[in-house]
Structures are given as structure tokens and as C-alpha cells.
Structure 1
Amino acid sequence: MEASNVILSAPLQQLKDEHVSLREDMNLFYEITEEIEFESGPALIQEFTRLYERISTFNSKLKAHSKKEDDWLFAMMASRLGENDKTIEVMEFEHEKAEQHLRDFLTEAEQAGPAIDIDEAQAIAVYAVQAYATLIQHSDREEKVLFPLAEKILSVGEKAELERRFRA
């Protein structure tokens, strides 16, 4: 069964649609990390400040999205899949890994403060690149594997419950 041909119910489609916006944000912050890699002097520090602002905003959006998956979708799916299935475990691990990279970026940027130097800025920006790589792979896996699987295994009632939770 080709995953891309699966028609998703409203709550799963909503999660997939949120990926579009998150991916746009990620692509923007990734472009800034590339600028930081090749810039020097005050321009680099300016780009780093832009990156910090982007990541701060993105992090809030990502948390709201991940909460829906972690608290509702993953929990429902885990009970259906049984304890021997590692699908949800892998998804949760990837969420944690991406969130850790973003936390490391924000924490180290805040500790460096406005007096940050070029080497520090470039080193800290690596966390943003790592978060990007993790999240691009992760959202891809959710769209190709997880959401179609959820569509197949969750009951109509569970999908309605998800939709209700997402609206709350």
C-alpha cells in the first residue's frame, strides 16, 4: 500500500499540514545557518541574532505540534500497536533528540549573550543544523509511515477523539 495514496482523516491531515508550516520555518533557519557558516565579522553576528529569534519562535510552534503527537496520537497508537512494536518509541526518541538540539542552541546562545564571538556563534549554530537534520527526517517518517499507519489502526471514535483534543 503506497503511503502517499492514503487519505488521512481530519486530525491526521491537520498534523501533516502543520508539518508544511514547520518545514518552511526550518528551511528559513537552515538558510541562516548556511549564511553563518560563510559570513564573517559583524554580518555573522547579525545573522546569528536572526537565527536566535527564528529558533525561539520555531521552538514554541514545534512544542505545540509535538504535544499533540506525544500526548494524544502516540499514546493512542502505542496502545493499539502493543509493547513489542518500537514505532512510537522511535518517534518519541526523535522528538527528544530534536528538542535537545534546540534547547542546547537556545541555552548556549543565551549564555554567550550579546558579546558572542564569531567562533562561538558558528559552534552554537551547529545545534540548529542538527535539529534541522533530525526534524526533516522525522517529519518525513511521520508522513510516510506513521500517519498512514495511524489511519489504518485507529478507530473512527479514536480519530474523532483526536480531533476533539486538537481543537481544545
Structure 2
Amino acid sequence: MEASNVILSAPMQQLKDEHVLLRKEMNQFYEITEEIEFESGPVVIQEFMRLYERIQDFNSKLKAHSKKEDDWLFPMMASRLGENDKIIEVMEFEHEKAEQHLREFLTEAVQAGPAINIDEAQAIAVYAVQAYATLIQHFDREEKVLFPLAEKILTVGEKEELERRFQAR
């Protein structure tokens, strides 16, 4: 099934649209990680502080997005797919992996504190890069595989229920 030929229902389109906004923020924080990696001196620490702020903000937006999928879309799809289908398991694993990278970034940044040095900043920024890489692949997989599959297997009523739940948040 070619994803570009699939017309998405309102809830799937909403999730896809959220990916666009999240990708934009991810690209911005990825650019900061490159500055941290390739710069030297005090600018590294300044950029790290900027990255920390961006990741905090991004993390809360990502959690709100993931919650819609984890709490409503995935269980709905899993009940239709049966236990032999591993797609939902893969999606949940990728969510956990991305969240873990972001959590590690935030935890280590807090532990390093304001006295962070350049080497620590560069080492901790790697977690942001790992989150970025995980999420780029994950969003792509959702858009090309998961959302078209959801369109195929979920009933009109289930899609309407998802839409109601998404709007209620």
C-alpha cells in the first residue's frame, strides 16, 4: 500500500500534521547539537543551554502527541490486528526509546548543572541526536505504514471516536 495514495481521516491527519510541527522543532534542536559538536569555547555552553530549553519544550509536546497514540490509537489497532502482528509493539518500543533518550539528556543536563564543561555538554548532546534519529525514522514509519493501516482496519465509528478523544484533549 503506497502511503501517498491514502486519504487520511481527520484523526490520522491530525497526528500526521503534528509530526510536521514536531519535525520542525527537531530540526532546530538538531542544528544546535551540530553547533555544540563543532564549536569550541564558551559558545558551546551557550548553545547547550539553548538546547536544554528546546528539549524541555519539545519533550512536553512529544509526550502530548505520543499519549494520543499510546492511549487510544495503538490499543484500538491492536484489538483489530491480533497478537501475532508486531507493528504496535514496534511503535511502542520506538516511543519508549525516543523518550528514554530525551529523559537521559534532561537528567544528565540537570546533574551537570550550571558548572557544565564543554566535554560534558558535547557528551550529553549525543542523547538529543539519538532522540532525533529515532524519531525521524519513527515518524516516517507511522506515516508510511501505521496511518494507512489504521485507515484500512479501523471502522468509521472507531475513527470518529478517535477524533472525539483527540478534540477533547
The equivalent residue for 2:48 is: 48
Q: Deviation above 2 Å: which 4+ runs of structure 1?
A: none
The CA deviation at 1:41 is 1.1
Quote how far apart the aligned CAs of 1:104 are. 0.1
Matches within 5 A, 1:76-115: 76-115=76-115
Structure 2 SS opposite 1:85: coil
CA deviations on 1:89-115 (whole Å, 9 max, x unpaired) are: 000000000000000000000000110
SS of 2:162's equivalent? helix
The alignment covers a number of residue pairs equal to 168
Q: Which runs of 5+ in 2 are unaligned?
A: none
Give secondary structure in 1 for the equivalent of 2:42: helix
- Structure 2 CA distance for aligned equivalents of residues 136 and 4 of structure 1: 18
Q: TM-score, normalised by structure 1?
A: 0.99
Partner Cα distance (2:133, 2:122) in 1: 17
Q: Distance in 2 between matches of 1:2 and 1:103?
A: 35
TM-score with structure 2 length normalisation? Answer: 0.99
Secondary structure at the aligned position of 1:109 is classed as helix
Q: Secondary structure at the match of 1:83?
A: coil
The whole-number CA distance in structure 1 between the counterparts of 2:41 and 2:143 is 40
Q: What do the CA deviations read for 1:71-129 (whole angstroms, capped 9, x no partner)?
A: 00001000000001000000000000000000000000000011000000000000000
* 1:16 matches 2:53: no
Aligned to 2:134: 134
Segments of structure 1 that go 5 or more residues without pairing to the other structure are none
Identity in percent: 89
Q: What RMSD, in angstroms, separates the aligned Cα atoms of the two structures?
A: 0.4
